Structure 1
Amino acid sequence: MTTDAAHYFATKLAHETDASDVYAAQKADEDFILVDVRGDEAWRQGRITGAIHIPYAQIAQRAATEISPGTPVVVYCWSPGCNAGAKGAFEFARLGYSVKEMIGGYEYWVREGQPTENDEGPLPRVFDPQVMVVHDKS
């Protein structure tokens, strides 16, 4: 049974990441492309700084022309209640990309106070004590 659990979690971690790890990877200039797989309205409302936009239904048609096939990809959608990230990850995997899904999606990225933007520029950063330790600055 222990071997089954170890295999399950190793496989799970090989295919998913979270907002904190993606932000750390961005700051470390790791080589990957962050892809927002939500629709156009969601993208315009707000997105992760540094992400590109390919809605999951368009990945099969657009991926090869916009992302070099050997480049690792991380996808995200709205939240833990949205499966567009899994749909996007499946499409990239089907095309042969090394891909991970960012669990928690845009919601947890925002709740952790990571950088976001919209068409007008950067959005305010808010740190939610329900999902992270917030240190008192006083």
Structure 2
Amino acid sequence: MTNSAAAAHFRAKLSFETDPSDVFADQQEGAAFALVDTRSQAAWDQGHAVGAIHLPTREIAARASAEIPHGTPVVVYCWSPGCNGGDKAALAFAQLGYDVRLMIGGFEYWAREGYPVESADGPVVRAADPLVAPVAAPSCAC
């Protein structure tokens, strides 16, 4: 028997959230979307996902329309699951009419899962953390 309330909940959740593995796979497939790092300049300089656009949350209302064409799907991230900055950024994009999803896990899990990172000094090379990412396979296949 199907639990329709649970099915509706998870269907809705998956339409508004994604994860680093899926974002990276979409990048590799050439999917058209804007990956937006919503953190401060200092955080961006320390390290960010390769391919991301830097647009701090407090600047979204003023800059988004000029930098990201309407109709472009947006994926936002902030530091980590312990930070709600990504949620605030997703809300700001949604209020502007964008199709937006939150990358759960934020930059922390992007980096810990071993996806490409760059800093103000260039590429950052780090191994995948075996506590959060498969180290012997390209993905967890979940």
| TM-score category of the 2 structures, normalised to the smaller one | over 0.9
**1:32 — aligned with what?**
33
Q: TM-score, normalised by structure 2?
A: 0.93
Give identity over the alignment, percent.
55
Residue 27 of structure 1: CA displacement? 0.3
Is the partner of 2:76 in helix, strand or coil? strand
Q: 1:21 is paired with a residue of what secondary structure? A: helix
Which secondary structure does the structure 1 equivalent of 2:13 belong to? helix
Which amino acid in 2 is paired with 1:48?
Answer: A
Q: Matched residue of 1:34: which SS?
A: strand
Please tell me the root mean square deviation across aligned C-alpha atoms, in Å: 1.2
| Residue pairs, 1:52-71, within 5 angstroms | 52-71=53-72
**Residues 39-86 of structure 1: CA deviation (Å, up to 9, x unaligned):** 111001000001001101110000000000110000000000010000
Matched, 1:21 2:17: no
Deviation at 1:126, TM superposition (A): 1.5
Aligned to 1:106: 107
Instruction: Output the amino acid matched with 1:98.
Output: D
Total equivalences in the alignment: 136
Task: Give 1:91's aligned residue.
Answer: 92
Distance 1:90 1:60 in 2: 11
For 2:126 and 2:70, locate their aligned partners in 1 and report how far apart those are by CA, in whole Å. Answer: 33
Question: Residues of 1 paired with 2:100 and 2:76: CA distance?
Answer: 7
Of 123-132 and 27-36, deviating more is 123-132
Comparing 42-51 and 1-10, the one that deviates more: 1-10
Query: 2: CA distance between counterparts of 1:59 and 1:65?
Result: 10
| Equivalent-residue separation in structure 1 for 2:121 and 2:27 (angstroms) | 22
Unaligned runs of 5+ in 1: none
**TM-score of the pair, normalised by structure 1:** 0.96
AA aligned to 2:124 is L
